Structure 1
Amino acid sequence: MTTTPGSEADGAKPGRVDPTPEHFRRLHPLTPLLRGWGFLALAIGIGGQDALRSGEMGRFGLTALAFAVVGMIAGLLSWWFTRYGFDGDALRIDSGMLNRRSRRVRLDRLQAVDINRPLAGRLLGVSELRLEVAGGGKAEAPLQYLAVDDAVRLRAELLARAAGIDADTPEAPERVVHEVPLDRLVWSTVLSGAFVTGVVFIVGIGVALLFFRDSEVTVGLLSSMLPGVIAIGAALWAQLGRNFAFVLAESPDGYRIRKGLLDTQHQTVPPGRVQGVAMRQPLLWRGKGWVRLDVDVAGYSGESSDDSQRTSTLLPVATYEEAAEVLRQVLPGSDPLSVPLTHAPRPARWLRPIGWKKLAYGVDDHVVVVREGVLYRNLTTVPHAKTQSVRIVQGPLQRRLGLASVHVDTTPGPVDAVIAHRLPAEARAIAEEQAERARLARKTDVPEQWMARYRQQSAPRPDGHADGDSHPAASSERDQE
């Protein structure tokens, strides 16, 4: 929620924002330095080339210095007028010198809490706290920057308040579920499609150089290697750089992910916030028996494609057995890999000549499962309670062949459940039944204050034993109020 000048708040004069409470805190004092360097980079980018051509390096130095000073002043003013704190059941962030802005992040809408440490932040000992909320188009009110310890404490307090327990409860202990070995991560990068394509492209250009001795042709061929170099670099960064030292852990707060080589990320996804999971297996990974797991999490959907890929990875690479175990933990009460599947009808072969027999779907009491792919295999799982809508889509060729596809929609993201190429009567039945399953499942979905479930499960019975087997040590620590 954003309050701007001109809106009315309870107890405030019309057209004015509520005054910032005295107990609200400011960001880390080094924030102006981290924000101000962007002005210096802009000056170097704009005037650096002209200065090199004209030789007027003295004037360029003064210009760059002026930009740096302006950036520091702007950053200092932004830091001074930005304060944050808790206001009832929301985290409130006030900012702006001339145009005052007050943002309130409702904790019952909290989907995930991330701590990111860019390389410059790691050198200076600061972190960025990002809040993802339901229905948010992007990270809501990121706090740039906090001291590392302050960021960890604030994350623990946010999760505790959102879970309905004492705000002073320390961060819950965790159990490591999976760690990705470095050698496996390296080999999965080497066997990725982008990396192999880049290597083949460069090798092909290298072979062509053996047959051409003309200098102009050689220069042209060398410059054409750039796309291959870019492809290799992108593959190395997307898989190896981002997922370096990848750790997936489980705690009463949710699933925690730690990863990153230069920029490190600490991501926490509360229980029940996973909207869908996709198990993917590229062709070159098949010989190793490796797969990856991607998830949809509400709140991440509005980010850029680059950020979405960064925040949607549940496991970058794992064996089939390891991924299956994590899949069962993320979707409790269901085993998507054992759900019976129904195959597509024979007319589907005209639209999917290769792999139409792999088109299949199935349901159980908790999830809908969709399988597809021959070279690149996908198994998509969507909990009934997380179904946003169900659509029947029929293109012109499908109409000619008497087929239709059913889309089971979750929040926008990498997980896309499409039951492709079904007979129209079957498609209508699938859509109606899935809509009814979703309606019934939402009645028993995980409550907004999810820690109530752990308190109930760990509450002592009359015989002196705890009820349930869900993390008794973690629950007892979290429930000291």
Structure 2
Amino acid sequence: MRAAAELGVAWVLVILGTVLAMAALYGWLSWRVTRYLVTDTELRIRTGLLFRRSAHLRLDRIQSIDVTRPLLARALGVAKLKMDVVGSGDNDELAFLGEAEARKLRAELLARAAGISPEAAPEAGEAPATELYRVDGRTLATALALLGTGWGMLLPLAFLIPFMWWGTTSVFITIMVAVPILATIWRSTVGAFLTQYGWTVAESADGLRLDHGLLQRDHATVPPGRVQSVRIVEPLLWRRRGWARVELEVAGGGHEAGLLVPVADRAMCAALIGRILPDTDIDAAIGSVRPSPARARWAVPIWHKGYGHGVTDTVFVARRGRLSRTHTLVPHAKVQSTRITRGPWMHRLRLTDIHVEHGANGTVVARLQDSERAVAELTAQADRSRLGRRTARPERWLT
């Protein structure tokens, strides 16, 4: 019986090795038949071995181009390009090119998207960049630990696993319950550290460049003109140290998780946001926030104190959260529409929610505001948006 078991394990290993080898061979052959062509108006990509796929990407519709280098690709000196194009549901990829070729092609495509002539674009090269900030590894590790999203789940897991084993005596069920929780813990701790390690923000003519990753290196560019909203997140245990995280919503998406910087002190956060919203005083924007009226406690007990709303000459500001406080800034020029809502109970309390929708298909809500103020804000915000669009900066690359 023991010999049969060993033979069964051997067969499993042989089958697994064969499947992996065939998958690797198929991937290599698919890569070998991949072709691309840059014309005057578009990038054409043809991929697939058994199932052929052709993509025609208009150069003037390119939103962002990211360079990604997984661990094995770094060892082999290759990289892939991830392109986000207006009107395309998914990011199109071109994998794998030599690292130098990938960077040269990316620079040419960005130059073409900026309107540089096809003859001059190949020689334009990558715009020089100036480093603005680099996240220290120790600071990142401490910040992730203080979030508590990872180790906070260890206690429930330590209770749940013995309970599942006692209730079912099934190893399979216990593992199936534990694995998703362990995966969540991994993503919020070690996985986040590996992804955000060495996070660097640099400034160039084509926008803010983000480089990060320990095992897999990612290189993304954020065109400031396409940023639709900025979120300043201050978790409870970060505030004493004066730390915050800055997140972005960009038309077309593109970069990792919408992050501008995973952790930095408030002064650095304000300086980096100033590169995107140069006419906005961040301290004045946050200082303009007024809390919800005291009667809002009858609508949302305790947590109502976390809600607030403010406005400056350049941005609409909404605040939410008490444990993790978030200020969301939406430039007036990016506001697509504004509306107000309230239910029967909020109507009785004379409270209204103000909804502001922007160009990244997102909505920012200032909750539990005084109804009279909300109605006045509805009209005023429409006027601010019209004025903001007249003076807004261009959204094109390198402009």
TM-score interval w.r.t. the shorter chain? 0.7 to 0.9
Q: CA deviation at 1:242?
A: 0.9
Is 1:254 the counterpart of 2:207 in the alignment? yes
Alpha-carbon separation, structure 1, partners of 2:212 and 2:336: 30
Cα gap change, 1:220 to 1:67, in 2 (>3 Å)? closer
Give the counterpart letter for 1:451 in structure 2. Answer: L
Q: CA deviation at 1:271?
A: 3.0
- 118, 123, 126: which one pairs with 2:70? 118
Cα gap change, 1:87 to 1:120, in 2 (>3 Å)? same
Is 1:192 the counterpart of 2:192 in the alignment? no
Identity within the alignment, %: 37
Alpha-carbon separation, structure 2, partners of 1:112 and 1:286: 33
Give the counterpart letter for 1:256 in structure 2. Answer: R
Is 1:335 the counterpart of 2:281 in the alignment? yes
Asked if 2 retains the 8 angstrom alpha-carbon contact of 1:408 and 1:418, the reply is yes
Asked if 2 retains the 8 angstrom alpha-carbon contact of 1:272 and 1:446, the reply is yes
Q: CA deviation at 1:312?
A: 0.8
- 143, 147, 151: which one pairs with 2:94? 143
Is 1:422 the counterpart of 2:369 in the alignment? yes
Asked if 2 retains the 8 angstrom alpha-carbon contact of 1:198 and 1:227, the reply is no
Residue aligned with 1:194, SS: coil
Specify the alignment match of 1:366 in structure 2. Answer: 314
Deviations 1:382-426 (A, max 9, x none): 11222233232323432343322111123558x752111123343
Asked if 1 retains the 8 angstrom alpha-carbon contact of 2:42 and 2:57, the reply is yes
Cα gap change, 1:97 to 1:128, in 2 (>3 Å)? closer
Asked if 2 retains the 8 angstrom alpha-carbon contact of 1:249 and 1:255, the reply is yes
- Pick the structure with more strand per residue: 2
Aligned pairs for 1:14-413 (under 5 A) are 55=8, 57-58=10-11, 61=14, 65=18, 68-69=21-22, 72-73=25-26, 76=29, 79-80=32-33, 82-95=34-47, 101-139=53-91, 141-165=92-116, 166-167=120-121, 168-201=123-156, 205=159, 229-300=182-253, 310-339=256-285, 340-411=288-359
Asked if 2 retains the 8 angstrom alpha-carbon contact of 1:354 and 1:374, the reply is no
Q: CA deviation at 1:102?
A: 3.8
Residue aligned with 2:225, SS: coil
Alpha-carbon separation, structure 1, partners of 2:23 and 2:124: 42
Cα gap change, 1:150 to 1:396, in 2 (>3 Å)? farther
Residue aligned with 1:191, SS: helix
Alpha-carbon separation, structure 1, partners of 2:315 and 2:227: 12
Alpha-carbon separation, structure 2, partners of 1:108 and 1:156: 14
Q: CA deviation at 1:263?
A: 1.3
With normalisation by structure 2, the TM-score equals: 0.84
Cα gap change, 1:253 to 1:403, in 2 (>3 Å)? same
Asked if 2 retains the 8 angstrom alpha-carbon contact of 1:276 and 1:296, the reply is yes
Asked if 2 retains the 8 angstrom alpha-carbon contact of 1:136 and 1:299, the reply is no
Uncovered stretches (5+) of structure 1, i.e. residues with no partner: 1-50, 302-307, 453-481
With normalisation by structure 1, the TM-score equals: 0.71
Larger radius of gyration between Structure 1 and Structure 2:
1
Alpha-carbon separation, structure 2, partners of 1:120 and 1:85: 26
Cα gap change, 1:342 to 1:173, in 2 (>3 Å)? same
Cα gap change, 1:61 to 1:173, in 2 (>3 Å)? same
Asked if 2 retains the 8 angstrom alpha-carbon contact of 1:138 and 1:300, the reply is no
Q: CA deviation at 1:351?
A: 2.0
Deviations 1:338-364 (A, max 9, x none): 132333233322223224344222222
Uncovered stretches (5+) of structure 2, i.e. residues with no partner: none
Give the counterpart letter for 1:156 in structure 2. Answer: A
Q: CA deviation at 1:450?
A: 4.2
Q: CA deviation at 1:373?
A: 2.1
Deviations 1:171-225 (A, max 9, x none): 11111111111110111111112123034446x659x99xx9xx979x9999787
Cα gap change, 1:363 to 1:90, in 2 (>3 Å)? farther
Asked if 1 retains the 8 angstrom alpha-carbon contact of 2:245 and 2:261, the reply is yes
Q: CA deviation at 1:161?
A: 1.5
Cα gap change, 1:350 to 1:108, in 2 (>3 Å)? farther
Asked if 2 retains the 8 angstrom alpha-carbon contact of 1:336 and 1:369, the reply is no
Give the counterpart letter for 2:132 in structure 1. Answer: V
Deviations 1:418-443 (A, max 9, x none): 11112334323323332332233233
